[in-house]
Each structure stands twice: as C-alpha cells, then as structure tokens.
Amino acid sequence: MTRTLALLLCFIFIRVIFKLDPRPQSGVSNALWIPTIWMLIIASRMVGEWFASSSGAVSAESYADGSPLDRNIFLALILSALVVVVKRRGSITKLFQNNRWLCLYLVYCGLSIAWSDFPLVSLKRYVKEIGNLMMVIIAWTENAPVEAVKALVKRCAYVLIPLSIIMFKYYPEFGRSYSRWTGDLSFTGVTNNKNSLGVLSAVGGLGLVWSLLSIWRQRSGRVNKKAALAQAGMLLMTLHVLVKAHSATSIACFVVGVCILTTARIKTVRKHLIAYTVVAIIIASTMLLLGNGLSLTTQMLGRDETLTGRTDVWQAAIGLGTNPIIGDGYSSFWLGERLEKMWQIFSWQPTEVHDGYLDIYLDLGVVGLILLGALMVSSFATVSRMLQSDFEQGSLRLAVLTIAIMYNVTESAFRPGLLMYFVFIMVVVRLPGVVSRKAGGLQVSPVSTQMQPAVTA
C-alpha cells in the first residue's frame, strides 16, 4: 500500500469514527471547534514543524524568536476565542471570585514580565497563557459543559491517534526518531518526541475511559451502542500507541488516572478518595525523589537512578543561579546566556529542566511555587465537594489534577503550549454555577452560555 493511499484511508476512518460518535444534538456549539483546533496543535506538533526542512538544532536566538507562522496561527485562534468569550461574558466579577488563586497566579505571572531579561519574549508567551485560559472558558461555558469537554477530548483522540499510527508506519520522517547515542528507535507519531506522544495517549485514553464509564453508568435504553463501540475501539488503539510510545511517566499517570475514575464509583471509597489520592501522590513523589525509593522506582519503570539524566540537569540549572524569591521572570530562564550555557553542558540541548516545579521556581521563584500550590489545594477542595454533587465532573477533575501533579515530578509541563498544562487548567478552572454553597448544603446548577451564576437562597 502506498503511503498516500494509507493516509487517505486514515482520513476516511476518522470520518467514520466521527459519524459513529456524533456530537450531542444540543448543548455543544460550533464555537467548540476553536479550542479543538488549539488542542490538536498543542497535542501534536506546531504547524511550522510540519514544514520544517530540517529537524536539527536551532540557535538560542531562533529558539527565543519562535516561528512567525505558529505565532500568527495562535494569535488568530486567540482573537477568535476572545469574540466568543466576550459574547458569553456575563458576570466577570463572579468569574474572578470563583477562581481567586488562579487569577492571583496569572496576575503574578504577568507582573513577573517586569523583571524578565527578555520582556518582549516573556510577554508573547504570556499572551499564549491567556489564550490557553480562554480556550478552557469556551469549553466550560457551553450549554452542556460536561458533554463539551468529552467532545473536546474525543476529537483530539479520534484525529491524532490514527494519524500517529500512519505516521509511524508510512511517514518515518515524522513518526519515528532515533537516539543519537544508542540508535534506538522511538515511536513519536504526530508529536515530536515519545514523551509528548505518551501524554497524548494518556490524556486521550483517560478521556475515553471517562466517557465509557459515563455510558455504563447510565444503564438505560438511550445508550448509543455505536458510539460506545467506536469509543471502545479507539481506546484499544490509544492503549496500543501508549505502549509503543514507551513513556514510563505517561503510562504510570494513565494507570493512576484510571484507578481514580473506577474507584470513585465505589461509594465507600469515594468519601475518603481525596485523602487516599493525596497520600498516593506524596508517596509516589517521595519514592521518585529520595534515596532507595528512587532506585527501586526507577528500576520498576525501566530507568537509571538519575532519571535518564534529569538530576544532572536539575543540578546544572540551579547552579546557574536565579532569584530564589521571585525568579527570573515568566518563561525567561531558558533564554539567552543561560540557555547557551546549558547547551554547552548538555549536547542534547535541553529547553526545560524536566521537573515542572523546579521550572516554576526558576521562572517565578518561591512566590510562584506558593501560588501554584495554593491553586492545587483549592482545586482539591472544589473536587471534594463536586464528587458528592456533580460526580461526572468531579471524577474527571480529580483524575486529571492528580496525573498533572505526578507528571510534573519528572517532566516539565506547566507551559501553555503543552497538552498536560491545557488539561490542568481545564480542571482547576471553576466557573460560576458549577458548584456553589448554600446555607443547607451544596447546590449544583448548569453553566449557561452567558456564564450566569447559580441563584442561592
């Protein structure tokens, strides 16, 4: 079979999957295609990378400048999203009140541009940060927000998973990569490295599991059997790609996420699920970062005791020095002389420290870490209430929040151009009307397209 024919058949297959699992008749508007396109790009590779004539290393200057094509595409998506958000603006004050810690974190990120050595580059990246938030707001302000989020994740999986398989088999210049030291073959698919493909598979697989569990929970004659069959088949393909990607962190995160989604359906476990989850996060993180636990854990995941060289990068990055209180400014550490020095030390030219929390420290200091930590704690509190009142949202938010926290222990994913960060923002945003307190307990009310807050007695 020629690769052109294979690609054509892949597109036909994708179309059939969409036909078998159509979007809901009501509650999901065409505006959702804006965040869908955004998500498809950050979950795969930048548009400019598909047209790049070489995959070789770039200079520190070109890395800071980025691609004009990608910048214009993201700007167009942000402006389109802005139009939708303005139409659904409703009560902006209430939106801020429901997301105080997220707002404080983003405001601090914006303020940190003032002490960045590269304020223009930092500002460009901050605009993308705000764009990321607007895409999430569009999804949660649909008439049927839960169905909108399901559609968003499924669209990403339906398009990118089959294409990854085709790219690996018929387009090796895109779908494969080889280690420059050992020559080992890696399955990258539509992404540019195996870790990104692992995240795509883990997030897509988790979304499909969540959707299938929701269908099973309905237990009614209204279940669309064709849609369920399409999702089950796509889940099998996603698991295949996840295994082929051979990303230990993503596999571990997927397993933990599925465990949370399934155990959340057990009432006796659900009451203490938050506590169990926090303990599991602490134990797993401690085993990864400390002594004998590190050795045991890395052997189980197939890595060496330096987490494939990560600890060397951590030490080198800290050794370059940064302001411990406020950092070097939003998304500014990996620029200029610091980037050049890291590239001189490491021939594989890292652009991150492979630890999300350390990267936040380098850019935003201890203040940034405190605000991020407060945002996570606040999100756990929201999820705890939501598990009792809006189970479908609560279970997804808890699973994604957990894997995002775990993933950033050995990878760096608190950046707006990454899929893991996108879904992290999606589960920490709490829009008016999602969960509200009443004097006598909890009230759940749907979020309208105008973002009207719930009416409390």
Per-residue model confidence (pLDDT) at position 214: 83
Residue 452 binned pLDDT confidence (cut-offs 50, 70, 90): very low
The C-alpha atoms of residue 408 and residue 413 are separated, in whole angstroms, by 6
**Secondary structure of 287-310 in the HEC alphabet?**
HHHCHHHHHHHHHHCCCCCCCCCH
**pLDDT, position 438:** 38
The total of other beta-carbon atoms located within 10 Å of residue 149's CB is: 27
pLDDT of residue 289: 59
Q: Is the pLDDT of residue 288 over 60?
A: no
CA distance 451 to 437: 17
Q: What is the pLDDT of residue 272?
A: 82
Q: Which of 78-92, 195-209, 363-377 has the lowest mean pLDDT?
A: 78-92
Rounded mean pLDDT of the chain?
82
pLDDT of 354 above 70: yes
Instruction: Tell me what pLDDT residue 387 has.
Output: 82
Q: Which of 251, 302, 274 is nearest to 406 (CA)?
A: 251
Which position has the higher pLDDT, 215 or 2? 2
Q: Is the pLDDT of residue 453 over 50?
A: no
Helix (H, G, I), strand (E, B) or coil at 252: helix
Predicted confidence at residue 340, as pLDDT, reads 86
Summarize pLDDT for 217-229 with one digit per residue, the tens.
Answer: 665 556 678 888 8
Of residues 181 and 47, more confidence is placed in 47
d(CA 140, CA 2): 42
| Residue 237 predicted with pLDDT over 90 | yes
pLDDT digits (tens, 9 = 90+) for 404-435: 998 998 888 998 889 999 999 999 998 765 44
| Mean pLDDT, rounded, for 62-81 | 86
Q: How confident is the model at residue 58 (pLDDT cuts 50, 70, 90)?
A: low
At 404 the pLDDT is 94
Q: Is the pLDDT of residue 448 over 70?
A: no
Tokens for 418, please give them: 């990454």
**Residue 296: what pLDDT?**
38
Per-residue pLDDT at 64 exceeds 70: no
Structure confidence at residue 111 (pLDDT): 96
Mean pLDDT in residue range 161-172: 93
3-class DSSP state of 370: helix
Residue 305 is predicted with a pLDDT of: 45
Ranking 169-173, 267-271, 367-371, 449-453 by mean pLDDT, the lowest is 449-453
- Label residue 15 exposed, middle or buried (CB < 10 Å: 0-12, 13-18, 19+): exposed
CB atoms within 10 A of CB 304: 12
In percent, the amount of the chain with pLDDT more than 70 equals 81
Please, which pLDDT band fits residue 292 given cuts at 50, 70 and 90?
Answer: very low
CA gap 11, 167 in Å, rounded: 12
Write down the pLDDT at residue 221: 53
Binned at pLDDT 50, 70 and 90, residue 198 comes out as very high
Q: Answer yes or no: is pLDDT of 81 > 50.
A: yes
Residue 385, pLDDT score: 85
Confidence of residue 65 (pLDDT cuts 50, 70, 90): low
Is the four-CA dihedral 418, 422, 423, 428 of positive or negative sign? positive
The pLDDT assigned to 93 comes to 65
pTM of the model: 0.87
Q: What integer pLDDT is reported at residue 309 of this predicted model?
A: 61
Residue 330 pLDDT greater than 50, yes or no? yes
The residue-averaged pLDDT of 141-165 equals 91
At 304 the pLDDT is 47
Burial call 230-260: b when 16+ CB within 10 Å, e when fewer? bbeebbebbbebbebbbbbbbbbbbebbbeb
Q: With 90 as the cut, is the pLDDT of residue 355 above it? A: no
- 310 vs 115, which has greater pLDDT? 115
User: What pLDDT does residue 446 have?
Assistant: 43
